[in-house]
Structure 1
Amino acid sequence: MTAGVPAPRVPRVLSIAGTDPSGGAGIQADLKSIAAMGGYGMAVVTALVAQNTRGVRAVHVPPAEFLRAQLDAVGDDVEIDAIKIGMLHSAPLIAVVDDWLARRGHDLVVLDPVMVATSGDRLLDPAAEAAIRDLCRRAALVTPNLPELAVLTEEPVARSWRDALAQALRFARASGSIVLVKGGHLAGEDCPDAIVTPDGVAAEVARRRIASTNTHGTGCSLSSAMATLGASGVDWTDALPRATAWLAGAIAAGAALGVGRGNGPVDHLHELRPHLPSPVSPVSSVSWTARVWAEAAPLRAAVNACGFVDGLRTGSLDEPVFAWYLEQDALYLSEYARVLARASALAPRSDEQVFWAEAAASAIAVESELHRSRVDADTAEPAPTTLAYTDHLHAASARGSYGELVAALLPCFWLYSDVGERFAAASHARHPYRDWLSTYADPAFAASTRAAIEIADRAAAGASAFERERMSVAFERSMRHELAFFEAPVAALVGAARAGGAMRGA
């Protein structure tokens, strides 16, 4: 900083919203988003929500008087540069916020009208919906998803991007608000966003949809990011590409967090993690791979004990369950080969470049052929567990750390080699899955596994303490994804059977 030039002021942003104890949505996501955009976050709670990545379990709403007391406590003491409003739950709470804003004057308000659940269910009664429409007049920016935009306009949900822009324009003209219209609910590979004013489309960002289940809290996060950028003096048309690029990166990196078993959160701090200081960690005489393999003993035991793996060992596994697994494994291998190719590109030594390139070719030519002999995966759709695993690998690849990527890939060698070696004795001539077991008990695969272990240890030896820790985290998360991948086939077929039974019983 040049002497005599004051540092830019940190924007102070207040979030008025509900909670999420799992940290991915609501006020918790707002505060992380505000921090990621360089702001100082504050929070007033409208509702205490018992939820996680799989859904909402209960909602407790404090009295409206307590909401007013929170708002007054912050407003009487702190100069607020922007206000983001999320979940307001009911007409009495909306009235409190509306009155508070009226008494304050001209705040920069970003309103995320939380009105429709992911399931499509309406969250507010008609009186509260009308109150939200009226509250939009106090907002500098309104950020509805397409179902919420339909509620605001009292029209059907837009089915195309052109219809969404036209609907946003009608609402902007009727309310006087500026609308951030989001294409995330549209079908197809494109996921555009736009700023629509009463005069028309002011800015538009085209983006391809990211294949990820880590989308919990994206609406909260985007609106908070926009509020912080607005508080910093950034025009909405310039804030849109910055905020959406940040959110796209957060979605892509979200799988690496390993949080939850449903739709996981995004990684709000993905841009900051490479710059965080390395933790101090003593150097051990035990190799890195020996340590992480030992630490993964409970996960390895869970793999061995799960119904799918035990059924493979005994040969008692139902054929439809194995077929479902092979379909998902074929889809996994397609993405896995791409990540192996990325490891080859990052490898610092020529022999390691060759190793990863040959592994990528093997994943496509050898293992995929085994799958084609049993199932046709061309029409299969990736299951959530498959997407979560491949998202994790792609996130490790995208961060550009060779050691972390090698660590994320290692379980797909080591765990399968371990299973194959131990199950080789059970693979008699009449074993129904002998061809699959023999592939992973093959001496050539065992040699590849030893080579992958040596490469990982070399990467760990040359890494900083911080990167070694990231490697350990990546390895452990891949082991957890492997366990989930083995557990998914039985769960999927049992779920389908129960659903079929319920349909017959109806």
Structure 2
Amino acid sequence: MGSELVTALPPVPRVLSIAGTDPTGGAGIQADLKSIAANGGYGMAVVTALVAQNTHGVRSVHVPPASFLAEQLEAVSDDVAIDAVKIGMLGTREVVDTVRGWLERTDPPAVVLDPVMVATSGDRLLDASAEQALRDLLSLADVVTPNIPELAILAGEGVAADWSAVLAQAARVSERHGVIVLAKGGHLAGDDVPDALVDATGGAVSVSEYPGARIHASNTHGTGCSLSSALATRYARSKDWGGAVAESKRWLAESIREGADLGVGSGRGPVSHFAGLWARGGLDTRPLPGEVEADWWEHIRGVRESIDELPFVRGLGDGTLGREAFVWYLAQDALYLRDYSRVLAIASRLAPTTAEQAFWAQAAHGAIAAELQLHESWISEDDLRDVRPGATTTAYLDHLLAAGARGDYAVLIAALLPCFWLYHDVGTRLHPLSHDAHPYRSWLDTYADVAFETSTRRAVELVMAAASEADPARRSSMRQAFRRSAEFEHAFFAAPLREEGTPRD
């Protein structure tokens, strides 16, 4: 028995968060890093302030020396190519000035500024003396993401009372500072929570609105941090602010809805940044092909050991097997190979790459052209016409043909593998027992041959690569199909002898 298409994925964006901390993990750089990862980026963080806070509020803020902030920034940019920057809590004028100087020197490709001034709890996070410095920083950002009270501070005006006033205020800030404004309606009353991307940097005002419904949940700690870092990451991937806003909003809405399940804190809890990934991607790690190979081989250890103990296999190895039983076995094997080659051809048709297609097609040809030569040396074609398939032969072929009919390439090749792997294993271990006068030397030579070993190794590699790439459910189905075929191989070796020396069927 016996030119690939590649879809290129966009590179992972390297996104730097410049922000304060939150020891509970719901806001600040902790939330930023989760948000960046959840939206497909590699997150980096430079700390501007150490904040003692929890889901109830801020207790104290420690601002490290600005010289140390500058060292952090230079250490990152000296070594890593940065694709986007998200700026959050800055705290003091000196910190703002330090970040401004770094931005002017490095000129990152994209900058999203979340003007953190007041925490969700109401605690002030920006010195009054730093407000003008923050306004001056706007010109170095691409997008600024204020809530309604923060937008008013940036505009130097009173808080907007309704959505139309918010949009007008956002347009004035955009035009004055040359920055796109993501205006957010979360502070408005009612169940409608619109957002809008307002761009007046070119003189004319462009407004792209994103409708939204209020999510009645208490898990809103760190939503501003999370949205802005998601936006920076999504833009770095797509280079489209509008699309990045839409995708970031959908992701944040899902994260807010699932936040209560985290059970973090007794105040305003955090959002669940990875809820979507956990639900759709799961937590299972992807095994390496070699790990799958070791697991599957161990999984059929009992089957392999039982094959070694079969009277047919022992007699085949030491040459004491009766000729009548061996000829019966070869006749069944010849019948098997005719349909087995058809199943190999199905695998070739389903194969995703030309290399795999060629391998299974060559194996199908080998099953007929090469291996049947062995059978013809013992049984004539006329004699084969009178042979009826035994129960085991029929059941094994039904199993393989059913796998082929389902059209699942990965499961099919897993079902085909034992016919390579177990025969090579048995043939290799029995071959040293043979000698020139051994009656079944030609059979042992066939399955211990270097060419069959090479073919078997390639089959193993293809199946294990497919299993490694498969999701857990499909990998489990592959493993089950593999084991079932291994059990049929055992039954096939057992079938020639119902009892010692007595042909079966």
The offset of 1:230, in angstroms, is: 1.1
Q: Residues 271-350 of structure 1: matches in 2 within 5 Å?
A: 271-274=276-279, 275-277=281-283
1:266 corresponds in structure 2 to 271
1:101 corresponds in structure 2 to 103
**Equivalent of 1:51, from 35, 53, 63?**
53
- Alignment of 1:257 with 2:249, yes or no, is no
**Equivalent of 2:26, from 15, 21, 24?**
24
- SS state of the match for residue 156, structure 1? coil
The offset of 1:3, in angstroms, is: 4.8
Separation of aligned partners in 2, 1:237 and 1:2 = 34
Separation of aligned partners in 1, 2:48 and 2:172 = 30
2:498 corresponds in structure 1 to none
The offset of 1:173, in angstroms, is: 0.7
- Matched positions, count: 281
1:147 corresponds in structure 2 to 149
2:199 corresponds in structure 1 to 197
**Equivalent of 1:216, from 211, 214, 221?**
221
The offset of 1:246, in angstroms, is: 0.8
Conserved in 2, the CA contact under 8 Å of 1:101 and 1:107? no
Matching residue's letter, 1:144: P
Conserved in 1, the CA contact under 8 Å of 2:120 and 2:221? no
Separation of aligned partners in 2, 1:229 and 1:94 = 25
Conserved in 2, the CA contact under 8 Å of 1:16 and 1:87? yes
The offset of 1:117, in angstroms, is: 3.3
Separation of aligned partners in 1, 2:83 and 2:7 = 21
- SS state of the match for residue 52, structure 2? strand
1:231 corresponds in structure 2 to 236
The offset of 1:130, in angstroms, is: 0.3
Separation of aligned partners in 1, 2:260 and 2:38 = 18
Conserved in 2, the CA contact under 8 Å of 1:194 and 1:201? no
- SS state of the match for residue 46, structure 1? strand
Q: Does the C-alpha gap of structure 1 residues 194 and 249 become closer, same or farther in structure 2, counting only changes over 3 Å?
A: same
Q: Does the C-alpha gap of structure 1 residues 100 and 257 become closer, same or farther in structure 2, counting only changes over 3 Å?
A: same
Separation of aligned partners in 2, 1:123 and 1:139 = 20
Separation of aligned partners in 2, 1:35 and 1:119 = 26
Deviates more, 1:226-235 or 1:8-17: 226-235
1:171 corresponds in structure 2 to 173
Separation of aligned partners in 2, 1:26 and 1:123 = 11
Matching residue's letter, 1:277: L
Separation of aligned partners in 2, 1:7 and 1:211 = 36
Q: Residues 328-477 of structure 1: matches in 2 within 5 Å?
A: none
2:85 corresponds in structure 1 to 83
Matching residue's letter, 1:264: G
Conserved in 1, the CA contact under 8 Å of 2:84 and 2:108? no
- SS state of the match for residue 220, structure 1? helix
2:69 corresponds in structure 1 to 67
Q: Which 4+ stretches in 1 moved above 2 angstroms?
A: 1-8, 116-127, 199-202
Matching residue's letter, 2:260: A
- SS state of the match for residue 128, structure 1? helix
- SS state of the match for residue 45, structure 2? strand
Separation of aligned partners in 1, 2:23 and 2:198 = 34
Conserved in 2, the CA contact under 8 Å of 1:91 and 1:131? yes
Conserved in 2, the CA contact under 8 Å of 1:46 and 1:61? yes
The offset of 1:203, in angstroms, is: 1.4
Separation of aligned partners in 2, 1:52 and 1:120 = 13
The offset of 1:70, in angstroms, is: 0.3
**CA shift digits 1:392-416 (9 cap, x unpaired):** xxxxxxxxxxxxxxxxxxxxxxxxx
The offset of 1:202, in angstroms, is: 3.2
Separation of aligned partners in 2, 1:119 and 1:214 = 12
2:335 corresponds in structure 1 to none
The offset of 1:278, in angstroms, is: 5.1
Separation of aligned partners in 2, 1:240 and 1:217 = 17
Q: Does the C-alpha gap of structure 1 residues 2 and 115 become closer, same or farther in structure 2, counting only changes over 3 Å?
A: farther
The offset of 1:7, in angstroms, is: 4.0
Q: What stretches of structure 1 of length at least 5 have no aligned partner?
A: 280-463, 465-506
Q: Does the C-alpha gap of structure 1 residues 111 and 66 become closer, same or farther in structure 2, counting only changes over 3 Å?
A: same
Separation of aligned partners in 2, 1:106 and 1:123 = 25
Separation of aligned partners in 2, 1:96 and 1:3 = 48
Q: Does the C-alpha gap of structure 1 residues 2 and 62 become closer, same or farther in structure 2, counting only changes over 3 Å?
A: farther
- SS state of the match for residue 94, structure 2? helix
- SS state of the match for residue 264, structure 1? coil
The offset of 1:32, in angstroms, is: 0.5
Q: Which is higher, the Rg of structure 1 or of structure 2?
A: 2
Matching residue's letter, 1:128: A
Q: Does the C-alpha gap of structure 1 residues 95 and 104 become closer, same or farther in structure 2, counting only changes over 3 Å?
A: same
